[in-house]
Structure 1
């Protein structure tokens, strides 16, 4: 029995869709469905115990006009994002360049440096981090060797945010691995040619390494921004789950969580979630729009 090419193609498509069906079901039931429900709840007054009551845009009006905690948590989150992401990328790039020198046991070093990225978001690591920066922790124990009496870093509202930023920077392994892969793709010949022409290592870094790595930097920047805005576990554990001390760890995600699961104001929490989605989308769009001026793909002219 003969089959036309069209029949074979249709049969292959049906097989492919059959294998993709579990993913489509999960995507619709676990992603699209909850997003639609959240959008609806954001337009209602809903406390999980009573039926949702339609109130239109009242939740959003309340957020932007009469919620000082929203403003403070938003600024704190921006501070965390705009400090942790650049430092993490810089540190990851420096370590990747060091590992790219062809040292022995590269696989071991790469695994060791990548390990914090696998564990850094866990509750256990956040608890350990809390102990490290406690008043009697390892950091102050080290400072005492030099006669310095350190504060309780996690109990002081001016310092605790920087311990969380340090924890984020410590999780540089994922970005480092991606940077290392990008560095492996840079031809060694261009460095040899520039060395012959008298270019210094610093000039090579800024005129060759950074432009050639700009697509990798762009990818790590986007992923870093999105992940940093969603930071929750460190603030929850280190700040005792209430944003302490003095709301110094009241990240946007923590405030959203408290509104929804401590005060059971699920409608308001849903509105906060959609505000965050829009903010992340807008910031990502800005980065994409500006990328044409600084991301170089090799076959483009002028970085476009």
Structure 2
């Protein structure tokens, strides 16, 4: 006896067919996610509890790797402090400078295309080439930057050879290649409704009031995007500090030459460099996996915090 509440026999088959079609369309992403993210992440977690040097079979050692990295590894906390410094300072400076350049370019009426090109070109330079050029420009003895500063009577820092100036020099390098953020902010600024500016001007609002209550609320999703992606990129900062430290230290030999990253005095050492140092120079894959997981957890924590507080990131404009 049928009750009349069961779906028709073909409905379940149609749902299964629809689910299979959806899975087929998603399969490239699912395969890529499993192979390039899920499997490496699970392997990293697994090896973080193993003693493994890449030659002998791994053996379980519990929390020894975690204890060693967090309490005994002398390079971990300097790398952590440098990485967090770069996250806070470089991201803030890049967002502010990129927004400022975007505002400047949108206001230029004559030859605006030329200025856009000039500001964007440095972003296209390969990271290694850009870093080499910056190290030579900021050479404390013969670099043009210190030559100009000395000519006008200003102090001439040691830049990449001085631990107090190495991170500001990396910040200047990051600001030099700001073209990507400039273009993103420029597009967002051009999309702000002009009617809102006109109404605010009729009400007597000044430039700062218009920027705070009209510009910022309209581009807040772009600001959030720039901050989140900037945090992730800063947590992965590897090439520029490594190359700058090598060149400043005079280590420009072949691949067989050993180099402890972080010159000068560990001031340019970052967590990604420490992962490479522990895993491929010291052959301590367990400790390298621990550092990689710390880096991953920090990135997730920063991103979650920013996404949770996105409403208060720049203010509501009220």
- Structure-2-length-normalised TM-score: 0.83
Q: 2:106 aligns with which of 93, 100, 104?
A: 100
1:13-24 superposed matches below 5 A: 21-24=27-30
Q: 2:271 aligns with which of 228, 244, 252?
A: 252
Matched, 1:229 2:235: yes
- Deviation per CA, 1:191-248, whole angstroms, max 9, x where unpaired? 1111111111111111211121111111111000110111001110011152111111
CA gap 1:109/1:12 in 2 versus in 1, 3 angstroms: farther
- 1:75: Cα distance to partner? 0.8
Whether contact under 8 Å (2:94, 2:174) holds in the other structure is yes
Q: CA RMSD in A?
A: 2.6
- 1:295: Cα distance to partner? 6.3
- 1:293: Cα distance to partner? 3.0
Distance 1:86 1:35 in 2: 29
- Structure-1-length-normalised TM-score: 0.87
1:1-304 superposed matches below 5 A: 21-101=27-107, 103-119=109-125, 122-135=127-140, 136-148=142-154, 150-240=156-246, 242-294=261-313
- 1:281: Cα distance to partner? 0.6
- 1:30: Cα distance to partner? 2.8
CA gap 1:28/1:97 in 2 versus in 1, 3 angstroms: same
- 1:169: Cα distance to partner? 1.8
- 1:171: Cα distance to partner? 2.1
- 1:174: Cα distance to partner? 1.5
Structure 1: tracts of 5 or more residues without a match: 297-301
Distance 2:293 2:179 in 1: 30
Whether contact under 8 Å (1:215, 1:295) holds in the other structure is no
- Deviation per CA, 1:85-115, whole angstroms, max 9, x where unpaired? 1111111101101111263444443333223
Q: SS of the residue aligned with 1:243?
A: coil
Q: SS of the residue aligned with 1:154?
A: helix
Distance 1:118 1:24 in 2: 32
Distance 1:111 1:8 in 2: 54
Structure 2: tracts of 5 or more residues without a match: 1-9, 247-258
Structure whose alpha-carbon radius of gyration is higher: 2
Whether contact under 8 Å (1:114, 1:172) holds in the other structure is yes
